[in-house]
Structure 1
Amino acid sequence: MLKSKLMKASLVVAGLALSAAASAQVYGGASIGRSQLSADCSGTISCSNDATSYKLFGGYQFHPNFAVEASYSNLGKTKADLYDTASSTSARMQVKSSSFELAAVANQQFTSELSGFAKLGIASVKAEGDMWAVNPTASVMTSTSTSSTQPVWGLGLNYKLTKELALRAEFETRKVKFGDEKETVRNLNVGMQYHF
């Protein structure tokens, strides 16, 4: 009796495992868009908080509604120009940011072509900055780099063009630490996703 129940339970578990394996899919893709850093531009001569961003990603969909995804995002460069009248010093600062991320993804099918997803994960964010300062007597250039671990979350849509290929649009946000400052960087990207 016990042996029969164990056999039935084993068959159910094996069936579930085979069903999950059958529905599992590996996917990958790339996207491009715009990022925006929430830095304060007051006191600058000129300031650009918007930049071109791009992303490479790959994932494993182990269930129709759930996946695990890894990605690399180049979040672009932000620039600011400053001038101090007291010392007649001009300065330019440039910061470029990038992020490696691992996230859990929850999918929801709306129609046979359209689906949405939400993601939550962890990001290793790197910010690299250069500053040039020039006054009548000297010029100085300094560089610094800061890495930090930050939470990342996002929302997106997939529109299936074929069985394997889909259009993908997504919004993401995470913090970027630079020196002692911590700012929010958001990006909106559009690209293609391919299921192998």
Structure 2
Amino acid sequence: MLKSKLMKASLVVAGLALSAAASAQVYGGASIGRSQLSDDCQGQVSCSTNATSYKLFSGYQFHPNFAVEASYSNLGKFKSSYADVGSTQSTQVKTSSFELAAVGNHQFTSELSGFAKLGIASVKAEGEFWGTGTAPAYASASTTSTQPVWGLGVNYKLTKELALRAEFESRKVKFGDDKETVRNLNVGLQYHF
């Protein structure tokens, strides 16, 4: 009797494990878009707070509603210039991010789904400074910080494996004593293997 119950319980557990493995999927993709730096550019002669961004991502969907995702985002270059009597100063900051996030999915229709994600990012800011005039100068610096990242997005299935993906993300970028927010909106493709 006990053997029979153990055998049935083992079969149920094995069935559940196989069911979970069958619904698990690996996916990957790429997207491109625009990022925006929250700097207010006060006192600058010229200032660009928008840049082209792109992202490469890969995930493991272990449940229809949950996944874990890793990604690399190039958040673009942001530039500013300041002029003083007889001199100008220019700054350029390149930003990138490696991220690991938990993703919650919700299926709205058979083609359309939405997702929200929350994770941690290793954000790198590489800056260069040029000064011209009576005392020309050049300097460069790099800062890497760990920051929270969050995002919202939608997927629209084009085929069983391929989906169109659009997402909005936000994370902080630290450079020296400054800490700004970089938000990006990307559109791309996601492929389920």
Letter paired with 1:62: F
CA distance in 1 between counterparts of 2:3 and 2:58 reads 43
> Does 1:159 find its partner at 2:156?
yes
> Does 1:189 find its partner at 2:186?
yes
CA distance in 1 between counterparts of 2:62 and 2:128 reads 43
Name the structure 2 match of 1:168.
Answer: 165
Name the structure 2 match of 1:73.
Answer: 73
Name the structure 1 match of 2:120.
Answer: 122
Q: Which runs of 5 or more residues in structure 1 are unaligned?
A: none
Structure 1 position 84, deviation (Å): 1.8
Structure 1 position 6, deviation (Å): 2.9
Name the structure 1 match of 2:130.
Answer: 132
Equivalent residues in 2 for 1:1-196 (5 A)? 1-85=1-85, 88-135=86-133, 137-196=134-193
CA distance in 2 between counterparts of 1:151 and 1:12 reads 39
CA distance in 1 between counterparts of 2:178 and 2:38 reads 11
Structure 1 position 8, deviation (Å): 2.5
Letter paired with 1:69: E
Q: Which runs of 5 or more residues in structure 2 are unaligned?
A: none
Letter paired with 2:84: D
Query: Cα deviation per residue 1:159-182 (whole Å; 9 max; x = unaligned)?
Result: 000001110000000000001111
CA distance in 1 between counterparts of 2:79 and 2:3 reads 71
CA distance in 1 between counterparts of 2:137 and 2:3 reads 80
CA distance in 1 between counterparts of 2:145 and 2:5 reads 51
Structure 1 position 14, deviation (Å): 1.1
Query: Cα deviation per residue 1:56-96 (whole Å; 9 max; x = unaligned)?
Result: 001111111111111000000000010122xx220100001
CA RMSD of aligned residues (A): 1.0
CA distance in 2 between counterparts of 1:84 and 1:38 reads 24
Structure 1 position 37, deviation (Å): 0.6
TM-score by length of 2: 0.97
Query: Cα deviation per residue 1:115-165 (whole Å; 9 max; x = unaligned)?
Result: 000011110000000010011x33110000000001101000000000011
Structure 1 position 4, deviation (Å): 3.3
The secondary structure found in structure 1 opposite 2:14 is: helix
Indicate the percent of aligned positions where both proteins have the same amino acid.
81
The secondary structure found in structure 1 opposite 2:17 is: helix
TM-score by length of 1: 0.96
The secondary structure found in structure 2 opposite 1:5 is: helix
